[in-house]
Structure 1
Amino acid sequence: MGRLSELFDPETVGVVGATDREGAVGRAIVENLRDEFAGTVVPINPNREVVLGLECYPDVTSAPAIDLAVVVVPPDAVIETLREIGEAGTRHVVVITAGFSETGGEGADRERRLREVAEEYDLAVVGPNSLGVMATDVGMNATFGPESALDGSISFMSQSGAFITAVLDWANEQGIGFQDVVSLGNKTVLDETDFVREWGDDPDTDVIIGYLEGIDDGGEFVRTAREVANDTPIVLVKSGRTDAGAQAASSHTGAIAGSERAYEAGLEQAGVIRARSVQELFDYARALSGLPEPETDGVAVVTNAGGPGVLTTDAVGDSTLKMAEFTDETIDALTEAMPEEANVYNPIDAIGDADVDRFGEALDLALADPNVGSAVVVSAPTAVLEYDVLAETIVEKRDDHDKPVVTCLMGGTRARAAEEALREVGVPNYFDPARAVAGLDALARYRTVRERTADAPTEFDVDRERARGILERAAERGTNRLGVESMALLDAYGIPTPEGEIVDDPDRAREVAKAIDGEVVMKIVSPDITHKSDIGGVKVGVEDENVYDAYEDLVSRARNYQPDATILGVQVQEMLDLDASTETIVGMNRDPQFGPLLLFGLGGIFVEILEDTSVRVAPIGETEAREMVDEIQAAPLLRGARGRDPADVDAVVETLQRLSQLVTDFPAILELDVNPLVAGPDGVRAIDLRLTLDTEEL
């Protein structure tokens, strides 16, 4: 364990605000600690001499040295209390008290001062507005919740304290145990990234799970979680997926919801397995904390009931797994061992009169098959089948083959004892076959996380100073929106652009056009006119003799459309052969939590209609850039579908990486669209550019 070791393994816990008053939070915390904690509990309250039979001290200074301070004093007293704790040398604090940023106004200011004191004394603070923390290794329940956690290997964090109390009540009934439990509260000092990092270093934590309403620093979370997930699976429920949910989250514990697309991309890049519900969260956690990793995606289903067997097969089809194809040797062995009426192909239906021996033999033969990575045992209760004996047989066969096995022993009282016996040896039982398959699917998804390679972003040789000058000159002009007048920005980062120039008189336009081989494209250049095509601000296929008149017409159209618009001139540009190319879009939107969110997809006029795009959080390396290209439905167009010449995909991949470097180097760029980026057999060309700046960041 690292910096937070004393938070989860203290020898002495002080409760500042302890009391014996009935119904008080300070009493509940002392009771929970007194009844279970292996160390010393120190109540602190100037108005008490004894609290629940324990000697009480008037302040932190007069109390014995404490490793962890739990603060439950009125909001106005919290800041001074933290100073006293810091002066006394304690470095780990849990602030239970509410009344901070979640209340706005004065509370937000109070939280700012709390953060300043924590920084001054280097305090590791959980909260404020926290239910508390638990550490089962030392029997520490430093919360005011009604339930303590059972021992286990799952470490659990939640941005909602109420969620923790509900989960613990349910988990205790299900026999699910935990290593550590943390109520994050307002996350003023310690946040989800700190605990992912800490539990990633903890050999006693097999799985990290959490309920989050928002992630404060998405970029740091992605970097940390990506490293941790190589050895420790991370499963999260993130609320606020819908617009309505995001709005609700922003009013709860002060969370600011970023875009759902950014969360999807960021958590995927971080190697986090995302659950859509609380049920999935724990179904995944149970599988990941107790089962070995499957070597293949092939699943064998062994059942005594045709209907549940079909349901299980459907569930496998809906997952990332597949039904295993048995070898001829396995089918021959099953044919010899099973009754004639049985189905020896996957799923194996041992039929309704199957006893434990027949079940065991079928499972043994299935697990021995090299195409089988895992198995689901599905059973309906019958008079000839004893579930407790079946459970012993399942464990025996699992141990013989060292492959993950989950069960679906359907029933109530009859299944309960067997379920408990299976749970004790790490075999999760689910009533619903789909949930059993989902548990195995989580194992396979985590194997993919461990096998992936995330290469470091390529550092291209670019002209940063030239790019900086372009952006600064735009800011000096008092504009935060740039268009094709800033195409040199792309050139500075090695992104190819067509031959051409922006001119401010028709004679110069004619000169530039003559220097370009063939017909040209002409566009009005104005940061105030976004959709140039809509006003006739683009002319395609202009011949030399028509350039002068085209220039005059473009300027006239722009003036008539928006008299107060700033007109910087007209862009004269070589015309590309679009028939032999594919129009794509590369872009970026700076997300409040995750930072630069890169986008790639089919471009031109189709981007808003088809919405065929992929996203990643920058910076990205070559592997992730290539994945972005491969993920869109239109990817076959780039690879030469229906007789088309394939586009230079490597050039597209490089452009994505160069754009990633550009927006990472310049946080002042809030939004950027290169649309279209024309991808042809001989490379790419950026035809148009729009971007928005935060001029104060320059």
Structure 2
Amino acid sequence: MQSYSSLAALFEPASIAIIGATSDPANPGNIAVSNLLASGYKGKIFPVNGEGEEVLGFKSFSSVSDIPRFTDLAIICLSPAEVVRTVEMLAELPVHAVIVPTEGFGETGREGYMLEQRLAKISKNSGMAILGPNCLGLMNSSIFMNASLATDYITHGNIAFFSQSGALCNTALDWANSEGVGFSKFISLGNKAVLSEATMLRYLANDPDTKVIVGYCETLKDGQDFLRVAYDTTSKKPLILLRAGGTAAGARAASAHSGALTGSTDAYNAAFNQAGVLQATDIEDMFNLAHAFSCQPLPEGPNVAIVTNSGGPGILAADMCEKGTLNISRPSSATLEKMKDFLGPHAALYNPIDMIGDANAETYAKTIRAVIEDDVFDSVLVILTPAANILGEVEKVAADLLVAAETSTKPIVACFMGDPSVEKARKLLRDGGIPCYDFPESAVRSLDAMARCHRWQNKDWPIEVCFRRDIAKAKSIVANSRRVGMMELVELDAQHLASAYELPVPETVLARTSNQAAKAAKRIGYPVVLKVASPQISRKDDLGLVVTDLHTPQDLRRAFQQITARAARRRKDAYITGCLVQAMGPKDSHEVEISFRRDAQFGALIRFSLGGIHADMLGDVSSRLAPLALNDAQEMIREVTAYPVLRGARAGAAVNLGALEDILLMVSQMASDIPEIQEAEFSPIIAGPDGAVVANMRMTIG
């Protein structure tokens, strides 16, 4: 982890050495010096080159060691091999921070990867902050510093932006300059040999100049570290991320681009969800959200007022609210009476508030003021379409809206549709700090994200739950399995491991003959379940090797013969030890599935769904990363579309949700305690009104 002094040297250096700068205007070092001058950087600039030639009026040094008392930031514009040798020398001086724009490292193959690893090792040993390689650099508007190779410079603002992609940095600069949006910090991460998204968040979360943090990422090096830092960050300020590589094709492209492996999309979604990260759907959405958060307060609730002069866009906005988390609330009685005084008899007053086509600037101003003053509403969306009656007053509507916003504590966003008739009004609003969108869906999405951010920052602290378990026993079972070469635990072996975590399992007996099965069933009590016992067969249902609801010894013996014979035919490679006799699950029950699989970047990803087709065919699954808090377990159960089934929909039996929450938390503890378990599946879990039991389980040992 980088020290505060090294990050301070990176973001607020008193002096900067540009190593490899020459008098050639196309030279990267020359561009870096030029950018520092153009941005108004007030610190000292030291060009360094072996020839000693002057660079843009600055005397150059033949070596960094010749610069008196230099310890802050160096920008190295040399070949990859020369970069590594130079960083080794700078670490001995010592210099606290380095920016490496040079390409040809981990993104190019094995040789470049090894050079990149050497940079990481130097940083680890010295504490030096290294940004890059293969990056543009960074900008800090508070000290007028453009320490990058990007010729466009940022205007001062409160958005901090970081990106793994240099091209996206240039895109963000173009957007910001065209929209008049400013940045506090602007960072190109490149290959992230040392400084990653998590490092940036640690710094930016406490940066007084930053109100909202926005980022583009393809891969995260240490998912668990990112999860912890992001959680702390989002409790203080909004964090908006656009993640690429969510499809198979995108993952391949991301890996080729950065030279790093990508994790599963489910794991990323779970991580962002648990950490309170707002996910942008695309580049446009990322910029829209950034602008809204940068200039508007957060709403204190979900109730939005929609003011429009056209029914169609108002309906589209209402549809979008319904799809998200916003409420289309009815105005208060006082507001309704007030609006009846100045709106026509055909206006719709009950939200969306449709003033219809004869609305003018005066009715807009009065309606907007009325909904702002109404305590029912937490936010306001103003939609304008260029109807004939309003065309000459569009800019006046915008000006009046800015005046109303001056005294409002509620977020206000606008959607002025049409072009070019509303272009000047849009610019007026954006320059005045009110986001103005082309279409209502984008406006609603921004308000929805702001409402979700407010809920996140005001939520209760998560409740950590720890169940009693025997970790030593569990680890011993895993070690013994590995020692004998058994990489999959099924049935009784898996039950022994589960018993260390006190997972509820039905009484189960191994019977080697049908007579033994009948005796076991008599002791357990009918009805029972019969399933084949074999260390080589884990998915018994798929092969027809499970029979449920057996009520008599005759049925049991017949099923025993059928199951063992069928197993011998269908799995000739398997060793059949007999059958397992198992107590039936709770009455009036439903089948549920819980599983986990280790993600390379985030660790154990736990999944929950109803059994049968819900997970495999319908994809009705909720996911979280271990370890789970109580609220995580509660949310997982309630997120699946089939949740009403568990609550007794259509006169069915309601499931004991607390029992399912307990099993999720026990599984989470197991996943966190024993990293040797690569995969585990607990299916089916038989859940009913009186509790839940894990009827079958399998675990893969790595």
> What TM-score does the superposition give when structure 2 sets the normalisation length?
0.93
Matched, 1:655 2:663: yes
Partners of 1:51 and 1:669 lie apart in 2 by 59
Tell me which residue corresponds to 1:526: 534
- Residue 523 of structure 1 deviates from its aligned partner by 2.5
Q: Cα 1:539–1:84, aligned 2, differ >3 Å: closer, same or farther?
A: same
Aligned pair partner of 1:466 in 457, 473, 483: 473
Aligned pair partner of 1:63 in 51, 64, 67: 67
Q: Aligned letter for 1:442?
A: A
Partners of 2:120 and 2:88 lie apart in 1 by 11
Is the partner of 1:487 in helix, strand or coil?
helix
Q: Cα 1:506–1:346, aligned 2, differ >3 Å: closer, same or farther?
A: closer
Partners of 1:553 and 1:300 lie apart in 2 by 66
Q: Cα 1:298–1:552, aligned 2, differ >3 Å: closer, same or farther?
A: closer
Tell me, yes or no, if the aligned pair for 2:494 and 2:699 is still in contact at 8 Å. Answer: no
Aligned pair partner of 1:39 in 37, 43, 46: 43
Partners of 1:179 and 1:425 lie apart in 2 by 19
- Residue 301 of structure 1 deviates from its aligned partner by 2.4
Is the partner of 2:169 in helix, strand or coil?
helix
Is the partner of 1:461 in helix, strand or coil?
coil
- Residue 672 of structure 1 deviates from its aligned partner by 0.5
- Residue 678 of structure 1 deviates from its aligned partner by 0.7
1:377-388 equivalences under 5 Å are 377-381=382-386, 385-388=392-395
After superposition, give the CA deviation of every residue in 1:487-520 in whole Å (9 maximum; x if it has no partner). Answer: 1111110111111233556676565444322244
Matched, 1:565 2:574: yes
Matched, 1:457 2:464: yes
Aligned pair partner of 1:337 in 342, 354, 364: 342
Aligned pair partner of 2:452 in 434, 445, 451: 445
- Residue 233 of structure 1 deviates from its aligned partner by 0.2
Partners of 2:516 and 2:405 lie apart in 1 by 80
Q: Aligned letter for 2:332?
A: T
With 306-315 and 597-606 compared, the bigger mean Cα shift is at 306-315
Tell me, yes or no, if the aligned pair for 2:161 and 2:186 is still in contact at 8 Å. Answer: yes
Tell me which residue corresponds to 1:535: 543
Partners of 1:220 and 1:595 lie apart in 2 by 11
Tell me, yes or no, if the aligned pair for 1:512 and 1:572 is still in contact at 8 Å. Answer: no
Q: Cα 1:578–1:570, aligned 2, differ >3 Å: closer, same or farther?
A: farther
Aligned pair partner of 2:54 in 50, 56, 68: 50
Aligned pair partner of 1:499 in 486, 504, 507: 507
Matched, 1:348 2:356: no
1:188-587 equivalences under 5 Å are 188-381=193-386, 385-412=392-419, 415-484=422-491, 485-502=493-510, 509=517, 512-540=520-548, 541=550, 543-544=552-553, 554-567=563-576, 569-577=577-585, 580-587=588-595
After superposition, give the CA deviation of every residue in 1:19-38 in whole Å (9 maximum; x if it has no partner). Answer: 22232222211211122222
1:66-85 equivalences under 5 Å are 66-85=71-90
Aligned pair partner of 2:632 in 594, 609, 624: 624
Tell me, yes or no, if the aligned pair for 2:560 and 2:579 is still in contact at 8 Å. Answer: no
- Residue 441 of structure 1 deviates from its aligned partner by 1.7
Q: Cα 1:441–1:222, aligned 2, differ >3 Å: closer, same or farther?
A: same
Matched, 1:9 2:12: yes
Q: Aligned letter for 1:114?
A: L
- Counting matched residue pairs gives 693
Aligned pair partner of 1:182 in 173, 187, 190: 187
Partners of 2:306 and 2:612 lie apart in 1 by 48
Q: Aligned letter for 1:252?
A: H
With 297-306 and 383-392 compared, the bigger mean Cα shift is at 383-392
- Residue 420 of structure 1 deviates from its aligned partner by 3.8
Tell me, yes or no, if the aligned pair for 1:287 and 1:442 is still in contact at 8 Å. Answer: no
With 604-613 and 438-447 compared, the bigger mean Cα shift is at 604-613
Partners of 2:390 and 2:524 lie apart in 1 by 88
Partners of 2:300 and 2:544 lie apart in 1 by 59
Q: Cα 1:383–1:394, aligned 2, differ >3 Å: closer, same or farther?
A: closer
Q: CA RMSD in A?
A: 2.4
- Residue 579 of structure 1 deviates from its aligned partner by 5.3
Tell me, yes or no, if the aligned pair for 1:519 and 1:544 is still in contact at 8 Å. Answer: no
Q: Aligned letter for 1:108?
A: Y
Partners of 2:642 and 2:314 lie apart in 1 by 37
Matched, 1:669 2:701: no
Tell me, yes or no, if the aligned pair for 1:519 and 1:574 is still in contact at 8 Å. Answer: no
Q: Aligned letter for 1:629?
A: I
- Residue 294 of structure 1 deviates from its aligned partner by 1.5
- Residue 643 of structure 1 deviates from its aligned partner by 3.3
Q: Cα 1:459–1:384, aligned 2, differ >3 Å: closer, same or farther?
A: closer
After superposition, give the CA deviation of every residue in 1:96-150 in whole Å (9 maximum; x if it has no partner). Answer: 1111111111111111111111111111111111111111111111111231112
Partners of 1:433 and 1:562 lie apart in 2 by 59
- Give the gaps of 5 or more residues in structure 1: none
- Residue 15 of structure 1 deviates from its aligned partner by 1.3
Q: Aligned letter for 1:254?
A: G
- Residue 527 of structure 1 deviates from its aligned partner by 3.5
Tell me, yes or no, if the aligned pair for 1:520 and 1:543 is still in contact at 8 Å. Answer: no
Q: Aligned letter for 1:422?
A: L
- Give the gaps of 5 or more residues in structure 2: none
Q: Cα 1:119–1:498, aligned 2, differ >3 Å: closer, same or farther?
A: same
Partners of 1:604 and 1:469 lie apart in 2 by 34
Aligned pair partner of 1:26 in 21, 24, 29: 29
With 344-353 and 674-683 compared, the bigger mean Cα shift is at 344-353
Q: Cα 1:295–1:385, aligned 2, differ >3 Å: closer, same or farther?
A: farther
- Residue 309 of structure 1 deviates from its aligned partner by 3.8
Matched, 1:143 2:148: yes
Is the partner of 1:685 in helix, strand or coil?
strand
Tell me, yes or no, if the aligned pair for 1:374 and 1:403 is still in contact at 8 Å. Answer: yes
- Residue 584 of structure 1 deviates from its aligned partner by 0.5
Q: Cα 1:33–1:605, aligned 2, differ >3 Å: closer, same or farther?
A: closer
With 532-541 and 73-82 compared, the bigger mean Cα shift is at 532-541
Is the partner of 1:295 in helix, strand or coil?
coil
Is the partner of 1:221 in helix, strand or coil?
helix
Tell me, yes or no, if the aligned pair for 2:585 and 2:687 is still in contact at 8 Å. Answer: no
Is the partner of 1:194 in helix, strand or coil?
helix
Tell me, yes or no, if the aligned pair for 1:60 and 1:84 is still in contact at 8 Å. Answer: no
Q: Cα 1:345–1:458, aligned 2, differ >3 Å: closer, same or farther?
A: closer
After superposition, give the CA deviation of every residue in 1:65-115 in whole Å (9 maximum; x if it has no partner). Answer: 041111221011122111111111222111111111111111111111111
- Residue 448 of structure 1 deviates from its aligned partner by 2.0
Q: Cα 1:470–1:371, aligned 2, differ >3 Å: closer, same or farther?
A: same
Tell me, yes or no, if the aligned pair for 2:23 and 2:53 is still in contact at 8 Å. Answer: no
Percent identity over paired residues:
36
Tell me, yes or no, if the aligned pair for 1:48 and 1:56 is still in contact at 8 Å. Answer: yes
Partners of 1:555 and 1:255 lie apart in 2 by 48
Tell me, yes or no, if the aligned pair for 1:587 and 1:599 is still in contact at 8 Å. Answer: yes
After superposition, give the CA deviation of every residue in 1:656-689 in whole Å (9 maximum; x if it has no partner). Answer: 0010000000111111001001112221111111
1:131-170 equivalences under 5 Å are 131-170=136-175
After superposition, give the CA deviation of every residue in 1:166-204 in whole Å (9 maximum; x if it has no partner). Answer: 221222111111111111111111111111121111121
Tell me, yes or no, if the aligned pair for 2:36 and 2:145 is still in contact at 8 Å. Answer: yes
Tell me, yes or no, if the aligned pair for 1:522 and 1:542 is still in contact at 8 Å. Answer: no
Q: Cα 1:356–1:66, aligned 2, differ >3 Å: closer, same or farther?
A: farther
Partners of 2:269 and 2:108 lie apart in 1 by 29
> What TM-score does the superposition give when structure 1 sets the normalisation length?
0.94
